[in-house]
């Protein structure tokens, strides 16, 4: 069995599972945020009216809550949702609630690794499609809707059809100025936005071994844009060190068998990758940066679960040091812990000296909600993961998806720029 | 189940156009319905009628896990979406929350069924009848668990131990 089959077999109490088996898997961790939480509460209200008990959760210690999409609240509906979420965690005894404005908080998919909320080998579900991100720690991490999350909260398990696994073998090492984001955009460009549908995308090979845990998180985050059920990397010493440095211990390092089967195997040479963008209006609509359209940009957005981890901000600082931005540029570290490190290590000064605006950790403009959305006809280069029509604001705005290095280089020139070409 | 078709002849209709991100804070189903399909077709709300079906291409509902998407369509009156294929979470949300039927169709149905056609969906026979054009098409049968959850009326009413 491969890693996903082994995790799902363990979680469903079976000695083995195979693709297309339908199982009920016991869930190890579940996350709700300020979008899915109020939705779950609505489902609970409906169940109560039907006579189904919602008095207690299956295990409040396995549940954690993030406030990320609509904080800081720009208006009263968002503010009321935050109050609903607080009442919910109080009522059900959920202690792990990362509240905006109180110590550590940030984007849920970033908290999941920054705060070591999820361990290798676990079944982790969340009410957000980019829950896939956390597969980089060697967990089966998968996004679900409100009804499914409500079911997990009450029953501790959920049904899955065991996915086929597509294996992406990455050889070698990414060149300078090329990041994991460039590689995953290349892969999505080739397999398409439904290329991973209903399946697992597993990454391995020397290129993945070489990669930092944070780069692997970017790879797994973007599997959602290929429609995958989940993305995963087998855990290694780097994952153990990463989680240990965040206070975690007792790892269950499940890896695939040597004779594990995959439905398809793809192979990529990391050394051949180039800075890449996805043009409007699809993550599969890719171009290498040197052949990207010569458009005047209005904005560079450096944020989100995909592109505002500490490593991402380090890459941005490398470009912005001693330079000035030519277009409106916003940097939103993905969690307070990252914000703090950026402050301690002088990154924030580099950003401010370059003329950038630094915002609080939030999903804000990535999902077109608040804190910097795009007007009609505006063009943005962004480290986020999706560029559908209207994703970051007006339906006639345009977003180019890029690595933090490309977004920073483009901020400096005002055009889509290969960081290798920056003077 | 009979209804009329609203056709979007394109692939990859994503959740950001089905219900734009700015409405994710809204959990009032009636209000969500007024914004359904706003990112693609601002006239949708004025033209949709109770019992209509949407017909579209590949990978319908790709993108976000937001359950607001099937909720907004369902509360607009849409009873089924007929598409060449669906994105995973949209499909699951539609079924587990019992909001609407996600029906996978074949290419002939996609090509021949037009906007406004009256359709009769017969799930037990895996057939779609085009009453306007007097044609019958095969629909892909629901997988075992999906069929059972639909028959039960959603995930919370499904009892796997009674299978």
CATH number at residue A352: 3.30.499.10
Read off the pLDDT of residues A255-277 as tens digits, 9 standing for 90 and up.
Answer: 999 999 999 999 999 999 999 99
Q: How far apart are CA A254 and CA A120, in angstroms?
A: 7
- Per-residue pLDDT band for B115 (boundaries 50, 70, 90) equals very high
Read off the pLDDT of residues B39-91 as tens digits, 9 standing for 90 and up.
Answer: 999 999 999 999 999 999 999 999 999 999 999 999 999 999 999 999 999 99
A263 and A282 part of one domain: no
Sheet order of strands, A264-269 included: A230-233, A200-204, A165-171, A264-269
Mean pLDDT (whole number) for A105-117: 98
Contact A232, A3 (CB under 8 A): yes
Instruction: Check if A36 contacts B (Cβ < 8 Å).
Output: yes
A379 and A297 part of one domain: yes
Residue B162 has pLDDT above 90, yes or no: no
A264 and A293 part of one domain: no
Q: Do B25 and A128 touch (CB under 8 A)?
A: no
Tokens of B36: 């359904």
Nearest CB among B24, B25, B87 relative to A197 is that of: B87
A68 and A126 part of one domain: yes
- Per-residue confidence (pLDDT) for residue A256, from 0 to 100: 98
Read off the pLDDT of residues A216-249 as tens digits, 9 standing for 90 and up.
Answer: 999 999 999 999 999 999 999 999 999 999 999 9
Q: How far apart are CA A380 and CA A94, in angstroms?
A: 39
- Mean pLDDT across chain B, nearest whole number? 96
A306 and A372 part of one domain: yes
Mean pLDDT (whole number) for B25-30: 96
Alpha carbon of A201 to those of A109, A126, A225, A359, B133: distances in Å? 18, 18, 11, 33, 42
Size of interface A-B (CB pairs under 8 A): 129
Tokens of B50: 């109770």
Residue B161 has pLDDT above 90, yes or no: no
Helix (H), strand (E) at residue A315: helix A310-320
Which one of A12, A127, A129 would you mutate to disrupt binding with B, by most B Cβ within 10 Å of its Cβ?
Answer: A129
Which one of A26, A224, A388, A393 would you mutate to disrupt binding with B, by most B Cβ within 10 Å of its Cβ?
Answer: A388
A231 and A120 part of one domain: yes
- Per-residue confidence (pLDDT) for residue A250, from 0 to 100: 84
Around Cβ A357, how many Cβ atoms within 10 Å? 14
CA distance B79 to chain A (A): 18
Q: How far apart are CA B127 and CA B53, in angstroms?
A: 15
A211 and A284 part of one domain: no
Nearest CB among A24, A197, A282 relative to B160 is that of: A24
Residues of A in contact with B31 (CB under 8 A): none
The residue of chain A nearest to residue B15, with distances taken between CA atoms, is A388
* Domain end residue (candidates: A233, A268, A303): A268
Read off the pLDDT of residues A283-327 as tens digits, 9 standing for 90 and up.
Answer: 999 999 999 999 999 999 999 999 999 999 999 999 999 999 999
Q: Which domain holds residue A308?
A: 275-421
Residues ≥6 apart with Cβ < 8 Å to B88:
A197, A198, A227, A229
- Per-residue confidence (pLDDT) for residue B160, from 0 to 100: 83
A281 and A216 part of one domain: no
The residue of chain B nearest to residue A391, with distances taken between CA atoms, is B16
The yes/no answer to whether this complex scores an ipTM above 0.95 is yes
* Domain end residue (candidates: A240, A268, A296): A268
A171 and A221 part of one domain: yes
A191 and A98 part of one domain: yes
Read off the pLDDT of residues A19-46 as tens digits, 9 standing for 90 and up.
Answer: 999 999 999 999 999 999 999 999 999 9
> What are the structural domains of chain B?
2-157 (3.20.19.10)
Read off the pLDDT of residues A355-370 as tens digits, 9 standing for 90 and up.
Answer: 999 999 999 999 999 9
Total domains, chain A: 2
Residues of B in contact with A150 (CB under 8 A): 156
Residue A82 has pLDDT above 80, yes or no: yes
Residues of A in contact with B58 (CB under 8 A): 194
Instruction: Check if A223 contacts B (Cβ < 8 Å).
Output: no
A26 and A152 part of one domain: yes
A241 and A363 part of one domain: no
* Domain end residue (candidates: A242, A268, A294): A268
- Per-residue confidence (pLDDT) for residue B163, from 0 to 100: 60
Which one of A156, A194, A225 would you mutate to disrupt binding with B, by most B Cβ within 10 Å of its Cβ?
Answer: A194
Enumerate residues 85 to 124 of chain A having a beta carbon within 8 A of any beta carbon in chain B. none
Tokens of B69: 């998407």
- Per-residue confidence (pLDDT) for residue A370, from 0 to 100: 95
> From the annotation, which residues of A make up the binding site for [4Fe-4S] cluster?
305, 363, 366
Contact A179, A218 (CB under 8 A): yes
Q: How far apart are CA A379 and CA A270, in angstroms?
A: 30
Mean pLDDT (whole number) for A186-190: 98
Residue B138 has pLDDT above 80, yes or no: yes
Mean pLDDT (whole number) for A393-405: 98
Mean pLDDT (whole number) for B16-36: 96
The residue of chain B nearest to residue A227, with distances taken between CA atoms, is B87
- Per-residue confidence (pLDDT) for residue A423, from 0 to 100: 81
């Amino acid at each position: 069995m491969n890693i996903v089959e082994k995790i799902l077999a363990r979680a469903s109490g079976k000695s083995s599972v195979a693709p297309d088996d339908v199982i009920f898997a016991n869930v190890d961790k579940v996350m709700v945020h300020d979008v899915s939480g109020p939705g779950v509460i609505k489902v609970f209200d409906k169940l109560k009216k039907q006579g189904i008990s919602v008095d207690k959760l299956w295990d409040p210690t396995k549940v954690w809550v993030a406030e990320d999409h609509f904080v800081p609240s720009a208006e009263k509906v968002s503010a009321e949702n935050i109050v609903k979420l607080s009442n919910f965690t109080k009522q059900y005894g959920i202690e792990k609630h990362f509240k905006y404005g109180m110590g550590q908080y940030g984007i849920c998919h970033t908290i999941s690794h920054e705060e070591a909320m999820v361990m290798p080998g676990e079944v982790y579900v969340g009410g957000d499609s980019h829950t896939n991100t956390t597969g980089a720690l060697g967990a089966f991490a998968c996004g679900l809707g409100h009804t499914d999350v409500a079911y997990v909260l009450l029953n501790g398990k959920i049904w899955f059809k065991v996915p086929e696994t597509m294996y992406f073998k990455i050889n070698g090492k990414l060149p300078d100025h090329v990041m994991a984001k460039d590689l995953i955009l290349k892969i999505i460009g080739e397999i398409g936005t439904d290329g991973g549908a209903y399946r697992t995308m597993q990454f391995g090979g020397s290129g993945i071994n070489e990669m930092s845990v944070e780069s692997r998180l970017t790879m797994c985050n973007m599997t959602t844009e290929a429609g995958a059920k989940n993305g995963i990397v087998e855990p290694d010493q780097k994952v153990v060190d990463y989680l240990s440095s965040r206070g975690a211990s007792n790892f269950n390092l499940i890896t695939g068998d040597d004779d594990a089967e995959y439905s398809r195997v793809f192979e990529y040479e990391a050394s051949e990758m180039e800075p890449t963008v996805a043009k409007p209006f699809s993550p599969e609509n890719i171009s290498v940066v040197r052949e990207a359209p010569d458009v005047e940009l209005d904005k560079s957005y450096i944020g989100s679960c995909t592109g505002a981890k500490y490593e991402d901000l380090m890459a941005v600082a490398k470009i912005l040091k001693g330079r000035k931005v030519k277009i409106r540029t916003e940097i939103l570290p993905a969690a307070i812990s990252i914000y703090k490190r950026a402050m301690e290590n002088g990154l924030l000064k580099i950003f401010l000296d370059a003329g950038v605006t630094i915002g609080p950790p939030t999903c804000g403009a990535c999902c077109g909600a608040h804190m910097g959305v795009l007007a009609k006809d505006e063009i943005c280069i962004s480290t986020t993961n999706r560029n559908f029509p209207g994703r970051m604001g007006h339906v006639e705005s345009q977003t180019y998806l890029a690595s933090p290095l490309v977004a920073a280089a483009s901020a400096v020139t005002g055009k889509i720029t290969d960081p290798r070409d920056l003077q | 189940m009979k209804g009329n078709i609203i056709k979007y002849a394109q692939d990859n209709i994503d959740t950001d156009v089905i219900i734009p991100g700015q409405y994710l804070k809204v959990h009032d189903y009636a209000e969500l319905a007024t914004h359904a399909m706003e990112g693609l077709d601002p006239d949708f709300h004025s033209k949709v009628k109770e019992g209509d079906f949407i017909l579209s291409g590949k990978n319908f509902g790709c993108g976000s896990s937001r359950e607001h998407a099937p909720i907004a369509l369902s509360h607009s009156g849409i009873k089924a979406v007929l598409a060449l294929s669906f994105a995973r979470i949209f499909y699951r949300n539609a079924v587990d929350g019992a909001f609407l039927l996600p029906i996978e169709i074949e290419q002939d149905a996609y090509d021949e069924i037009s906007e406004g056609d009256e359709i009769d969906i017969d799930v037990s026979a895996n057939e779609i009848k085009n009453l306007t054009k007097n044609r019958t098409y095969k629909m892909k049968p629901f997988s075992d668990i999906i069929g059972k959850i639909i028959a039960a009326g959603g995930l919370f009413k499904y009892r796997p131990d009674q299978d």
